[in-house]
Amino acid sequence: MKLKILDCTLRDGGYHTNWEFEPNFVGDLIAILDRVGVDVIELGYKSPLRGGKYKKCNDKFIENILGFIPKSKLSFMVDTKDFVVNNKLDYNLIENNIHKNSIFNMCRVATTLDFLDYAKEFVGYLHSIGYETTINLVRVSLLDRSTLQGVIKSLDDSDSDVLYLADSFGSLLPNKVSEFLKIYRENTDKKIGFHAHNNLGLGFSNTVLAIESGVDYVDGSITGMGRGAGNMKLEQLLMYLDYDCSEIFGLINRRFDKLKKQYQWGYKFNYMLGGMKEIHPGYYEKLKSKGLSESKIYSVLNGIKIKNTFDKSEIENIKEKTASVVIPARYKSTRFPGKPIIDIKGIPMIIRVAQAAERAVGKENVYIATEDERISNVVDSYNYKVILTSDSCLTGTDRVAEASLELDSDIIVNVQGDEPMVNPDTILRVIEEKKKFPSSIITSISRFNSNKEFKNRNIVKFVFDNEKNLLYASRSGIPGNKNDEFMYGYSHVAVYAFSKKELESFYKWGIENGKTELEWVEDIEILRFLEMNHNVKIIEVSDVGWSVDMPSDVEKVEDVISERL
């Protein structure tokens, strides 16, 4: 039998995207894989659990996305345990999700040892309604020789067409792959498949070894896209097997390079640790979501006791990164003295900002940083926390940096005190982005569409690269063509997230050197970070800035508030 190659990019890649992909991306991927000659394309899961469109793989949806019938067979995967209810295989769930006369040719049934009998029953039903089937035995590395022999003998009696060895933890060394595949061959006459993960960097070499050992199916994904360290890189195998990969490489350049930078699958020392110690990837994912550094995650993973299945109690006491909002408020504004405590429909402006911040992070994590007792007294009367700063701060961010010296939070969010309409969701999004990209300063922007805003020098405009890294900020109209005509524009929504270390370096520079050159020319403090070679990453929000720069702006803000009541 000719070796069959299965692509599982969408199914395994969905762990990063919650199984949502742009239609054009999917169409491009499938069309190219089909032309290249990949035998089976796995489009995702059919699952009764929550998730994106490719966790459901609805037949009509897939037909509409494709618009053509590929020569390659189409597959989906099911996780056996998702269909077991009250210790029985739930056929209502199965029939609601999996149908006869489908666009799909193959269903792959994933199972652990605990659900083996249910998996055999599952493939029996799938076989009866016309599907080719595989049983993917996961976490095989945890089984001893005798247990694995018994399992394969048991599965040899099933209706499954293919039995898969899945290196779930990416932990198998070549000698173990050879040993396990020999057990498969000696105990079944069925076709054999191999699925490699890449925690130890052995995905490709183990797959070549499996091919040389005579397996019938091998899996991979484009650029290895998949959970954690990812899978064997499909393009690497296709190139090795002398397929024409020119379209694949073009696809990687067009589609995957950007995705990989965003979701960062591939080698990390913590993925390798997970492979070496066979630690369930759920631990890493949960710890990463808490905003912990890679070094902190490494130390936690080393102490995990229950490794092979995910037990959240093992790490529930590990604290997430904490975040505080600091609102700088200066009384002695040149253009608008006393601006922070100006009345806006019965509430001082600084309190309106604090209330929005409170909805995002809780009142106990909101601080107003000011040099003036008049502001402090107003804030006290509303029971918000005040940090008194010096009168020599060069900018609002310098004031936030000075205040941060009194805080223990991991993330410090600067919310401008003259933004009474700031959206709490924007604050939360900036915090979450900072957890994902701890080495970048995070801030937000909003698109504008008028020449009036383009020409307004009170509006700070941002330009950025394809990865949403800030290139420059200016009060002038940017980007503009050679005739200084408005093309498009993004204005700054003044919410920032910093680490204490980033604020410390910013503050220290100001004390020792004053403002940087571009910061002084443009009067935009974020430029100091760029000039100091810090990376600034931006998120786009739908907010419309309603900053109060002049007394005349108060009436505009009050009108907006009235419209929203």
- Same domain for 348 and 233: no
| Same structural domain, 305 and 388 | no
The DSSP code sequence of 286-305 is: HHHHTT--HHHHHHHHHT-S
- Identify the helix (H) or strand (E) that includes residue 385: strand 385-388
Number of domains forming the structure of the chain? 3
pLDDT tens digit at each of 565 positions of the chain: 799 999 999 999 999 999 999 999 999 999 999 999 999 999 999 999 988 999 999 999 999 998 888 999 999 999 999 999 999 999 999 999 999 999 999 999 999 999 999 999 999 999 999 999 999 999 999 999 999 999 999 999 999 999 999 999 999 999 999 999 999 999 999 999 999 999 999 999 999 999 999 999 999 999 999 998 999 999 999 999 999 999 999 999 999 998 888 888 988 899 999 999 999 998 998 888 888 878 888 989 998 988 888 888 888 888 888 999 999 988 876 666 777 888 888 888 899 889 999 999 999 999 999 998 999 999 999 999 999 998 888 999 999 999 999 998 999 999 988 888 888 999 999 998 998 888 999 999 999 888 988 998 888 999 999 889 999 999 999 998 888 888 899 999 989 999 999 999 999 999 999 999 999 999 999 999 999 999 999 999 886 666 656 656 656 766 666 666 5
Residue 515, phi then psi, degrees to nearest 5: -70, 150
CB 169 within 8 A of CB 206: no
One domain, residues 351 and 332: yes
- The answer to the question of residue 231 being in a domain is yes
Handedness of CA 510, 513, 518, 520 (dihedral sign): positive
Task: Please indicate, yes or no, if residue 23 is contained in any of the structural domains.
Answer: yes
Which structural domain, as residue segments, surrounds residue 547?
A: 323-564
Q: Does the residue 269 lie in any domain?
A: no
Residue 438 is given by DSSP the state T
C-alpha to C-alpha distance for 298 and 287, rounded to whole angstroms = 10
Q: Whole-model pTM above 0.75?
A: no
250 and 379 inside one domain: no
Q: For residue 565, what pLDDT is reported?
A: 55
In terms of Cα–Cα distance, which of 436, 325, 472, 440 is closest to 384?
325
The rounded distance, in Å, linking the Cα atoms of 320 and 499 is 14
Same domain, 144 and 62: yes
Whole-angstrom Cα Rg for the chain: 28
| Residue 373 and residue 237 in one domain | no
- What does the pLDDT read at residue 404? 94
Element spanning 91, H or E: helix 91-97
Per the CB < 8 A criterion, the answer to whether 218 and 6 are in contact is: yes
17-46 burial, b at 16+ Cβ within 10 Å, e below that, comes to bebebeeebbebbbbbbbebebbbbbbbbb
Asked whether residue 342 is assigned to any structural domain, the reply reads yes
Residue 504: both structure tokens together: 């410390």
Contact 444/537 with Cβ under 8 angstroms? no
DSSP helix/strand/coil, 327? strand
Check if the beta carbon of residue 8 is closer than 8 Å to that of residue 234: no
> What does the DSSP 8-state code read for residue 320?
P
- In whole angstroms, give the CA distance from residue 187 to residue 191: 11
In a domain, 225, yes or no: yes
CATH of the domain at 508: 3.90.550.10
**136 within a domain of the structure (yes/no):** yes
Can you name the residues that pair with 386 across neighbouring β-strands?
368
Task: Round to whole Å and give the CA distance between 362 and 351.
Answer: 14
Q: What is the DSSP code (8-state) at residue 2?
A: P
Same domain? For 514 and 541 the reply is yes
Instruction: Mark residue 465 as left, alpha or beta (left: phi above 0; alpha: psi -120 to 50; beta: remaining).
Output: beta
Exposure string for 442-467, b = 16+ CB within 10 A, e = fewer: bbbbbebeeeebbeeeebbbbebeee
Task: Give the number of other Cβ atoms within 10 Å of residue 399's Cβ.
Answer: 27
Answer yes or no: are the C-beta atoms of 366 and 329 closer than 8 Å.
no
Q: How far apart are the first and last CA of the chain?
A: 71
Q: Could you tell me if 160 and 309 lie in one domain?
A: no
Alpha-carbon span 468 to 518, nearest angstrom: 21
In a domain, 519, yes or no: yes
Q: What angle do CA 319, 325, 327 make, to 5 degrees?
A: 165
